[in-house]
Amino acid sequence: MEQPIYVARSSMPPLEEYVEEIRPLWDTHMLTNMGAKHQALEAALAQYLEVENLSLFVNGHLALEMVLQAMQLKGEVITTPFTFISTTHAILRNGLTPVFCDIREDDFTIDASKLESLITESTAAILPVHVYGNLCEIERIEAIAKKHHLPVIYDAAHAFGVRYRDQGAGSFGDVSMFSFHATKVFNTIEGGAVCFRDAALKERLHQLKNFGIQGPEEVVAVGGNAKMNEFQAAMGLCNLRHLDAEIERRRAVFKRYCSALENVPGLRLPHLQKDTQPNYAYYPILVQDAFGASRDEVFDALAKNNIHARKYFYPPTNEHPCVQERLTAPAATPVAAGISRQVLTLPIYADLPLAEVDRIAATVRSARV
Ligand code: T4K
């Protein structure tokens, strides 16, 4: 049997490069609590993303959770259910109520035309997701948010490296959260960051991720522990040097899938957005009725060949009982529900040989009856 192929595979720098990066830690013995590597990565990422304000976290989830806490929001947050459960949990764990807006058929981001009707007196913020690295309708969302005086917090977990009209994905809305998990285009093993407009958030986030501590004898907020450690930051410093090459190699895989799967009736392939420089983070296909096999049958056919695609994101987050029991009104999100039942994310990573892409595509095609 062939080696297993998973949906993602962590990018890693040459071992020697990482060893050099962590060598100073053996002199200083400073392993965490926002040390030299942490500071260097924060500066490097702010420069790469061309943002003024950036704060690192131990993972993307806690970055989102803590930025919602720092913004002291109360009430309802409009978001989408077609996302990783983290987005919804971050809202709920802050005592906020998610209000689910449906998504667009073409790129699976929030349907801005349905947004305004969900805004009530209780709305505290809008939290859209740049799902798969597809950017939301930035200008349209901005206009609605401005009109209603609402902050926009983007879950940009998938969008590191994406640019729109020559602006990085961290520059939109009031806040953008990136994930640097091992499976992402850019990883710090585990990790995440938030970029934000309001510079005053910097100190508050610094406190919240370090137990709310302001000084040795002063605790000013009920915080937690969400600090990125020095080994994670060192991994980030190394991986950042290889990022352009990483995205280029992903591009080749993405393009190969497109040509190997084009014109198959009943298969809908991802399309690239206008005016956008993508990061090729995911390769989601939709398996529709006309294909002649269900999404789950394609999933099983791949699994039989030791190819482990994933159903990101199935079910939609608003179908989980632990979420449903916390909702004030059941949300109608039929587009998200339908896409979620058709979607399959195929393996994509820089090291995936193009011959394997062809084999995966052939296995998908042969799943039809
Ligand atoms: N918002 C959105 C929209 C997100 O998608 C995510 C995370 C977040 C927020 C929260 O950000 P973080 O707190 O995670 O920074 C994975 C990731 O754990 C998660 O980061 C990601 N989204 C989600 C979409 O996918 P799983 O449970 O599907 O991952 P897992 O462990 O099954 O890994 C998938 C494959 O990747 C494995 O089969 C093999 C490969 N892999 C995995 C690991 C852990 C590697 O090559 N190296 C590794 O170290 O959630």
The percent of residues above 90 in pLDDT, for the chain, comes to 96
The span from the CA of 34 to the CA of 22, in Å, is: 15
Residue 349: both structure tokens together = 């990573």
pLDDT tens, residue by residue, 170-202: 999 999 999 999 999 999 999 999 999 999 999
How far, in Å, from the CA of 347 to the mean position of ligand 1? 13
Burial class (CB in 10 A: 0-12, 13-18, 19+), 316: buried
Nearby residues of 171 by Cβ (< 8 Å), 6 or more positions away: 49, 50, 51, 195
Using pLDDT thresholds of 50, 70 and 90, give the confidence band for residue 366.
very high
Burial class (CB in 10 A: 0-12, 13-18, 19+), 366: exposed
Going by C-alpha positions, the residue among 349, 347, 350 that lies closest to residue 361 is 347
The percent of residues above 70 in pLDDT, for the chain, comes to 99
Instruction: Count the neighbouring beta carbons within 10 Å of the beta carbon of residue 120.
Output: 10
For the cut 70, the answer to whether the pLDDT of residue 317 exceeds it is yes
The span from the CA of 84 to the CA of 71, in Å, is: 22
For the cut 90, the answer to whether the pLDDT of residue 271 exceeds it is no
How big is the CA angle at 361 (ends 303 and 290), to the nearest 5 degrees? 90
- Quote the pLDDT of residue 131: 98
For the cut 80, the answer to whether the pLDDT of residue 216 exceeds it is yes
Q: Are 281 and 171 in contact (CB under 8 A)?
A: no
pLDDT tens, residue by residue, 44-97: 999 999 999 999 999 999 999 999 999 999 999 999 999 999 999 999 999 999
Question: What integer best gives the mean pLDDT of the chain?
Answer: 97
Instruction: Count the neighbouring beta carbons within 10 Å of the beta carbon of residue 183.
Output: 16
Ligand 1 nearest atom to the CA of residue 9, by list position: 46
- Quote the pLDDT of residue 1: 62
- Find the residues whose C-beta lies inside 6 A of ligand 1: 6-10, 59-61, 83-84, 86-87, 129, 155, 157-158, 179, 181-183, 192, 308, 312
Ligand 1 nearest atom to the CA of residue 10, by list position: 46
Using pLDDT thresholds of 50, 70 and 90, give the confidence band for residue 253.
very high
- Quote the pLDDT of residue 182: 98
How far, in Å, from the CA of 313 to the mean position of ligand 1? 12
Ligand 1 nearest atom to the CA of residue 60, by list position: 15
- Choice from 84, 130, 185 to test ligand 1 binding pocket (greatest atom count within 8 A of CB): 84
Residue 171: both structure tokens together = 């520059």
The span from the CA of 339 to the CA of 271, in Å, is: 15
Going by C-alpha positions, the residue among 232, 215, 280 that lies closest to residue 63 is 232
Going by C-alpha positions, the residue among 300, 301, 309 that lies closest to residue 348 is 309
φ, ψ at 193 (rounded to 5°): -155, 155
Model-wide pTM > 0.85: yes
For atom 41 of ligand 1, which residue has the closest CA? 9
Mean pLDDT of 313-340: 93
Q: Which residue has the tokens 């947004």?
A: 115
The span from the CA of 246 to the CA of 53, in Å, is: 25
Q: Are 133 and 186 in contact (CB under 8 A)?
A: no
- Choice from 80, 183, 188 to test ligand 1 binding pocket (greatest atom count within 8 A of CB): 183
